[in-house]
Structure 1
Amino acid sequence: MSSTGSGYSATDIITFIGIPLAVLGVLPILYNTVATLAALSKIKRMLRHGRLTALTRSDVVNRVIEVELPRYAVTPCDRFEETELYWRPSRQPSSIPGGSWTTFNWQTRAIGAKTQRVEYADQLRQPQVDVAFDKLIAYLLDLGAIPDAHGWKLLRSTGLWTPTGCSLLKSPDGQHEALTIAPLDDSDGHLSLKANWSSHWTTRDFSSLPPYWVRLLPPPQPEPSEITRGVGPEETPSSAQGEAEEGDIEKGKEKRHSSLHKESLDSIQKQAENNSRATITCQISVEGLISAKSQEDEAVGSPINLQNLYIEHLRIRPGKTDGIWFSSVATAYGTTSQTVLWNYKIPDEILNFARRDSLPCGILVLLGVVDASQTPEWATNYNGQEEARDLFFRRSADQRAAIMAESKMTPPQREIAARDRMQREMNQRLQDMRDHSRLENQRRETRTSEALQSPKWDTKLVAEHNLHWLKRNQELAIASGVNITSDTTLRDVVGSLLHRMILDGQFASSICKMLDLWKSWADNGGMRRSDLEALREDQVVFALASLLVALVKDTSTAHEGTLSLDLQECLQMWKIVRLG
């Protein structure tokens, strides 16, 4: 082994230099290992705090941590079944960015997973959840949030270009932001939102009417005398039942079957009577009526004793307009009260029909709803009394002339002439009656034609006159199942009609058929004689239908560009959004 003049060999020099270099080369690996393990520990602690299940993998050499988190689709808890979870925020919300949705309790469904590669713990992002936009807004509004008109107007006009942090909903005091626009990092082209809520912000409870719901009060009950008039005496058990022979088994079975059948019918009738006196709340979504529940008045503020009602006859279906008419009128009924329905949009053709002047005023005169003096001049005036007087004078003059001529005749000739005169006068009277009848028919046809061509009135004016007519003819309204008193308002009647339409499918069908008929002649150039005959056959139904149209007209005259329209457009533009 050779040595240098310094006394160190080449091996020693290599050792002195190589070992420190080797140590320096290992230090980054050690640092990466320590830093990765520390970041992984912090990430797991964040996941445990947020009660999140995730798969974690780490590469200590490259200082990379892989976190696989599930992605969820969520929907708010059931307001009627999960009352405590619905009104209470989550006790342990996640603090990870993108997890603002964990502020609330949800019904969740896993729809996939997302893998993230991070280096530091603060780079971790919780996947946003998919949620129906209308359900999210309804939930926050139900808790007490208030819409920000500027935010919704900006979202409607700019869409995904809306600035991050723009407020859509605020806390009840208006000082904090409850729902804002979030960055589009994890949105995949969806609208991205961020939620914020505090337990003391909740200002509503179960007794409050939820958004998109309408409360329909029961119609006033008729007088007790009218109720008892249609109720027959109760059937009493036959005395022969107690005297039946013990061996007559078949007869006993028939009686038991009849008794059970009678009890079943009594139970159904009792339930129907209870529903007719109960308050009904119905939910209106973008697709129309989706739920209706009845509840006794004394239990309106309680989540118990709720009963789902049959609503299949009022669902929106292809080829049928019953559901569209009901949802449109119910939306108008809710929009004009303190409860604002923002998600269902009344079809434009119905709004245009409600705005249009479509009913000739002369038709209301023919139906006896208004007096001719209340309408503009539209009919030809005939002086029937003058014509009858002229005819009477002419016939009297002819008779006097014939009698004078008979007085100059011999008795045999006078008798023959008088007999001929009497026969001639009888024929003239018959002919005059036929002429009068034909003239009256012609004038009636002319009057009908003129009525069909008379000036058209708007639906609001038609409804006002029909309401007065119903109040004057209360017996006709009660016979049709509608109790209208002298102090009943148009809104009260419409609420009662919607209440009955849910419970009585046949009544709902008759109302909607009349509305279809009315809209048909309004869209096709005017009313025809067949339409007039249909109104005469069901005049009460027509009067009630006009009240529904008038309420829709009130809604159609709302200010354009209002908060409700902005919200409505946005909810239709984005069905599913990302929340996080």
Structure 2
Amino acid sequence: MDKNGASATDIITYIGIPLAVLGVLPILYSFVRAILVQRSIRRTLHRHGLLDSSITRGSLMEGIVEVELPRCTITPLDRDEDPEYWKLNPHQVFLKGSSWSVFNWNTLVTGRQLVRCQYKDELRVPEADIDFEDLIAFLLDRGAIPDPKGWHLLKSIGLWTPTGTALLLPPRGMSGTVLKVATPDNADGLLSLQVDWKPQWDTRGSFSLPPFWVRLKQPGSGKVLADGTETMCEPETIDFKDDHADFEEIHEPQAQDISRDNTLVNETPENETSASQSLIKQIEERKLHVTTTPNDSFRFKLDGDRVQKVLFEDEELPTGEIHEMTSAGETANLWFICAASSLSQRLESELWNFTIPNQITSFVKRKSVPCGVMVLLGILNNDDVPPWASPPPSLQESAEEMSERMRRDMYERRLEDAMPPAQAAEARRVRMMRSAHEFHNQHIARQKALRDYEERRLVEAIQSARLENNTVAKATLAYLIAERVVPEGYTIEDLALAVLYLMVMDNAKGKLIGDILERWALWSQFGGMQKVQLELLMKNKVAFCYAAALVSVVYHAEAGDSNSSTDMLECLKSWKRVRLG
């Protein structure tokens, strides 16, 4: 004890014990905070229906709460059998990593994940594993549409794609993001995504076509021709039999003065034109040979990269009838899919699982049809295209030749008058034989000049300036309207949809259109058109017009980058499974 009366015990009592208490306070704080955080987390788990499936425990000394939550693998419900497929989950979990709970799923617990939390805000639900293709198909079925920019970015830089990059957007006309790239929960090399859905985005239901199915409705006769008559009531000129039937022989014309618009090659296609039949009427007549029950549409989907069959419908309900598409040929089948994919925005469902081949996209962008050929086919006039043909030869005698012939004839007649009768008769006979021989030689020369001009005109037409495919399609559409093959007011898209329907109803016609498109692509790629190809177009002018419509819609689709499925399909191949959080 010192002189002031303070002992060591007093020092320990009044100074040491408070310091010891102060040293224990952080531990007490962590202890109390851990208990409070654990209680808060348990309340949160209970509120979201996760308490029974989770395990919570606290490390009181460290102030950390450990939560074991189930990790799930999810798959979409059965579209046709389970009505919950189209409904939102009424018990959605509003925690980090639980965006997938907005929908109803088939859920399989595949393990547990430990989450360590110091604060309630750090609680995070494990991401769910799902097949990437199943996820995309489900969201497309709900009405989402791909974002081309997002898919291109994901394809280019993969897992380094910035967080928040949109992959799927709401139905057209609505704002927001359906599916976007999320921050990964762990570094295991899997792509992490986040999903969102709002009730106002639900525009589809069980009545809608499943993903990757397309419905094509039969073109009707609602549009009226120029004379006010309905297309379906248009009288038929001849019976349509065989697309590959031989056409009538073209008779050799008599010697006459010719011009650019009065030539053999310009008149030959008129035989096919006179036999043209209304496209809508062709479809209606061919349908009688293909189906036996009433129907007004058909649906189809891709089997690999082909359409194997179509299913007929009446008022969007299956009739049970199936029509095979195999006999139309590979080329026709491919172009059918390309045109349907390009027109898919006008159809009820889009072919997101198909990419137009590079050789077709390159072909539709090339100028390939010479302007002179369009004139020879009678689809365009010379005034509508740049000058391309040399002037026609004159087949009449010139004034000098006629004057010389008349002068010589008068001179010979005077000589005959001065001759004795017998000699005059012989001279007259010789003069008439020479005149007949000269007339015959002139006729032969005119015919040769005409043939040479026709051959030269064909060559000049083939070598003339080439037109844009869109220009060709517009000209062929105007021609079909003028010939009453399609109703007035038809657009190129209307024509293309009707042609697709015709290709299903008439495999022979589809094969012919496919053959024309194949040859068209060949001459576009290898040096230009040849005479045999021009003759094919002359004999099948209407089928060429149908083919031009298909080329045009694919051209517009590629020019507008509306076929956004290329990058998406590549990404689906790269990532089989993703994590949805």
TM-score (norm 1): 0.66
Are positions 1:364 and 2:383 aligned together? no
User: How far did residue 431 of structure 1 move?
Assistant: 1.9
Alignment of 1:153-192 (within 5 A): 154-164=153-163, 166-169=165-168, 178-182=178-182, 184=184, 189-192=189-192
Structure 1, 166-175 or 500-509: larger mean CA deviation: 166-175
- The letter of the residue matching 2:418 is K
Equivalent runs, 1:198-217 vs 2, <5 Å: 201-206=201-206, 212-217=212-217
One-letter code aligned to 2:131? D
Q: How does 1:501-516 map to 2 (within 5 A)?
A: 501-516=503-518
Q: Contact 1:212–1:342 (CA<8 Å) still a contact in 2?
A: yes
Q: If the length of structure 2 is used for normalisation, what is the TM-score?
A: 0.66
Sort the Cα spacing of 1:163 and 1:220 in 2 relative to 1 into closer, same or farther, 3 A: closer
Equivalent residue, structure 1, for 2:567:
569
CA RMSD of superposed structures (Å): 4.7
Q: How does 1:517-528 map to 2 (within 5 A)?
A: 517-528=519-530
**Is 2:331 the counterpart of 1:313?**
no
**What SS does structure 2 have at the residue aligned with 1:216?**
strand
With over 3 angstroms needed to count, the CA separation of the structure-2 counterparts of 1:220 and 1:408, relative to structure 1, is farther
Structure 2 counterpart of 1:223, from 232, 235, 239: 232
Aligned twin of 1:130: 131
Whole-Å separation in 2 of the counterparts to 1:227 and 1:85: 53
The structure with the greater share of residues assigned to helix is 1
1:540 correspondence with 2:542: yes
Q: Are 1:314 and 1:323, in contact at CA under 8 Å, matched by a contact in 2?
A: no
Report deviation, 1:439. Answer: 1.4
Q: Aligned partner of 1:411: which letter?
A: P
For residue 514 of structure 1, report the CA deviation from its aligned partner.
0.3
- Distance in 1, matches of 2:377 and 2:428, equals 48
Partner of 1:377: 387
Q: Which aligned pairs between 1:18-29 and structure 2 lie closer than 5 A?
A: none
> CA–CA distance in 1 between the matches of 2:100 and 2:124?
18
Whether contact under 8 Å (2:365, 2:469) holds in the other structure is yes
CA distance in 1, matches of 2:374, 2:289: 40
Q: 1:362 to 1:288 in 2, by over 3 A?
A: same
1:436-457 CA distance string (max 9 Å, x none): 1111111111111111111111
SS at structure 1 position matched to 2:291: helix
Residue from 399, 409, 413 that aligns with 1:399: 409
Compared with structure 1, are the counterparts of its residues 146 and 269 closer, same or farther at alpha carbon in structure 2 (3 Å cutoff)?
closer
How many residue pairs were aligned? 469
Contact 1:325 1:512 in 2 (8 A): yes
Give the stretch that moved more between structures: 83-92 or 168-177: 168-177
Supply the AA of the counterpart residue of 1:180.
Answer: K
Moved more, 564-573 or 450-459: 564-573
CA deviation map 1:55-99 (0-9, x unaligned): x9xxxxxxx999998857x46644xx4473442345777999877
1:408 equivalent in structure 2 = 418
Contact 1:170 1:177 (C-alpha < 8 Å) held by counterparts? yes
Distance, in Å, in 2 between the alignment partners of 1:291 and 1:96 is: 46
2:298 to 254, 261, 280: 280
Is the partner of 1:384 in helix, strand or coil? coil
- Residue 439 (1) aligns with residue 449 (2): yes
Quick one: structure 1 residues 125 and 430, their matched pair in 2 at CA, closer, same or farther if it must change by over 3 Å? same
Q: Which amino acid aligns with 2:533?
A: D
Aligned partner letter, 1:470? L
Q: What's the CA shift for 1:500? A: 1.6
The 3 A distance-change label for structure 1 pair 524 and 312 is same
Residues 165/117 of structure 1: CA separation in 2 closer, same or farther (3 Å cut): same
Paired residues of 1:143 and 1:204 also in contact (CA < 8 A): yes
Contact (CA 8 Å) 2:166, 2:177: kept in 1 or not? yes
- Cα deviation, 1:457-482, whole Å, max 9, x if unaligned, reads 111111222222222333xx4xxxxx
- Contact 1:285-1:343 at 8 Å conserved across structures: no
**Residues 89 and 104 in structure 1, CA contact (< 8 A), matched pair in contact too:** yes
Alignment-derived partner of residue 557 in structure 2: 555
Percent of residue pairs identical:
28
Kept in 1, the 8 Å contact 2:69–2:126? The answer is no
Question: How far apart, CA to CA, are the structure 2 residues paired with 1:225 and 1:362?
Answer: 32
Deviations 1:540-566 (A, max 9, x none): 1112111211222222221x6xxx566
Alpha-carbon separation, structure 1, partners of 2:515 and 2:364: 16
Q: Which amino acid aligns with 2:312?
A: S
Distance 1:89 1:180 in 2: 19
CA distance in 2, matches of 1:195, 1:285: 29
- Offset of residue 321 of structure 1: 2.6
Unaligned runs of 5+ in 2: 1-37, 56-65, 118-122, 222-230, 241-284
Counterpart secondary structure, 2:318: coil
In 2, distance between residues paired with 1:546 and 1:565?
A: 19
